[in-house]
Structure 1
Amino acid sequence: MARQKGIIALKGTIGGLNFYQLNGTPVVRKAGGGFNGKTIKTSPTMQRVRENGSEFGHSSSANRVFRNAILSLTDGSPFANFHRHLMPLFAQLKSLDTLNIRGQRKVSEGLARVEGKQLFKKFAFTPDCAFANQKPFDFSIDAATYGLHLRQLSLSSVKAPKGATHISLQYGVLAIDFDGFATQLSQAAALVLPLSTDTGSFDVPLETPIASTLPFHICLLGVRYYQQQESSFYLLNAKESIGLLVMEVCS
């Protein structure tokens, strides 16, 4: 690439050279080169590009379906770039698939592995939410009903967002098929507690049964903070006021 010199800045292709503007500067380079759609689709040297593109598309679709299915647990996306934040997780899950050849690896096969489940549970979905990161409680989940039992919940041990007086814990179980992209979210009634709550045990049953026909059941807890003013509660929307954590992954 070279800069154009002269009074008139040329644009277009002349004599095998491309003339164009780059950041306001007239430049010129040899025409041709690069890749076109046909080359990417048919050339043997582009096989790895095609494989990567296919797997990226699958991982992105799985990400989108999961993300859209759990919006109600946090009253919307935790932050604007949530999809991009989740992409490394889904890419790693896809890479754990040892059953399918490169270019056809699936998120579902990775999540079915013990390593995939651990990866999903340890991922920081909402890194700015102290409650989601610290998990200040013990818990158990009923194997038959998926009801949640919280024990030793200690809210005073977690730094709350400025102005917060209450916390809402929204438990849900997402039944999901990462191949067919079918989902069903079963939720419990939200558990709203004052931040003065220091100890306690709570049973949190689901209000609707889960879809047993879908291959994965992901137990999640959505976190939101509120400020009480007299008899009204106001939702706080700072990034540290919104949390999502994975309790368990079953398949």
Structure 2
Amino acid sequence: MAKLKSLIKIEGTLDGMTFYKGKDGYLVRTKGGVSKNRIQNDPAFVRTRENLSEFGHVAKSGKTLRHAITPLLADVKDGRVTSRLAKVLSVVKNADATSTRGNRNVGVGMVTDVGKNALKAFDFNQNAALDAILQTEYQLDTTTGEVTITGLNPLQHINAPGGATHVNFQVGVLNLDFQTQEKELVLSTPINVPLNSTVIDVNPTPSSMPTGTGQTYFFLKLAFFQEINGSQYVLNNGAFNVLQILEIL
């Protein structure tokens, strides 16, 4: 670290040197940090390499899950969903009690109750959590994937965003194996409901159940629309849409 003696006072990085203002005036230092080669090869950084390996695996697993539910997630907008999901999947990865450090993985963690419970009830839009939007009870049939909402009064039981006139209810059932990347997603037909005081029963049901190895994930989605001159439009590009993992088996 050196003190900058110049009429020009600058802050920032230039040619590998960082200029900044400290309590002793304007200072300059060369770019520091450990080299990439040392991190990759020095025995002293073995724990760092293990952590980086597991971090990369968690990030890849989050991408795998998001891509597997693209038809559901495409119009559910949350700019922080990637980082939030990675944080939860890191907990799932830590539930892997059999793999060596640096090789713990989400697929093994998802077999455990700890792993399933960590991801269960995850809201893909933190600005529209299911429990904050749907203000009534619902039942999930894990045999068929059907979600039943009896006696729904949309005006009373749905905390709808301003401007919304209708809401779609849709369920999805995903079979996903993080280790083999095998996946299958089955969706229900969306049920469109006007946001008025007419009491109805809602029971979106997927056409079939997915098959394969891995775990089965049950999703419930609420998507809001605004009707103008007889046509419905997605409200605010999906900023208020809800998507939650109800259960994992």
TM band (smaller chain):
0.7 to 0.9
Relative to 1, partners in 2 of residues 1:182 and 1:29: Cα closer, same or farther, differing over 3 Å? same
1:203 to 1:77, Cα distance in 2 relative to 1, 3 A: closer
Worse-matched range after superposition: 200-209 or 86-95: 200-209
Q: Give the equivalent residue in structure 2 for 1:165.
A: 165
- Cα distance in 2 between the residues matched to 1:178 and 1:19: 42
Contact 1:131/1:158 (8 A) holds in 2: no
Distance 1:142 1:49, change over 3 A: closer
Q: Secondary structure at the match of 1:225?
A: strand
Structure 2 residue runs without a partner (length 5+) = 10-14
Partner SS, residue 122 of structure 1: coil
Counterpart residue number, 2:59: 60
Q: CA deviation at 1:240?
A: 5.4
User: TM-score, normalising length from structure 2?
Assistant: 0.83
SS where residue 168 of structure 1 aligns?
strand
Cα root mean square deviation, aligned: 2.8
Write out per-residue CA displacement over residues 62-117 of structure 1, whole angstroms, 9 at most, x where no aligned residue.
10111122232143342233212211111111112111122111112222222222
Q: How does 1:10-89 map to 2 (within 5 A)?
A: 20-22=17-19, 27-29=27-29, 34-89=33-88
Whether contact under 8 Å (2:66, 2:73) holds in the other structure is: no
Q: Which runs of 5+ in 1 are unaligned?
A: 10-17
Residue range with higher mean Cα deviation, 71-80 or 154-163: 71-80
Counterpart-to-counterpart distance in 2, 1:8 and 1:159 = 57
Residue identity opposite 1:196 in structure 2:
N
- 1:1-251 pair list within 5 angstroms: 1-6=1-6, 20-22=17-19, 27-29=27-29, 34-129=33-128, 131-133=130-132, 135=134, 136-143=136-143, 145-155=144-154, 156-196=156-196, 199-210=199-210, 212-237=211-236, 241-250=240-249
Percent of pairs with identical residues: 26
Distance in 1 of aligned mates of 2:41 and 2:85 = 31
Residue 140 of structure 1: how far off its partner (Å):
2.4
Instruction: Give the C-alpha shift of residue 3 in structure 1.
Output: 2.7
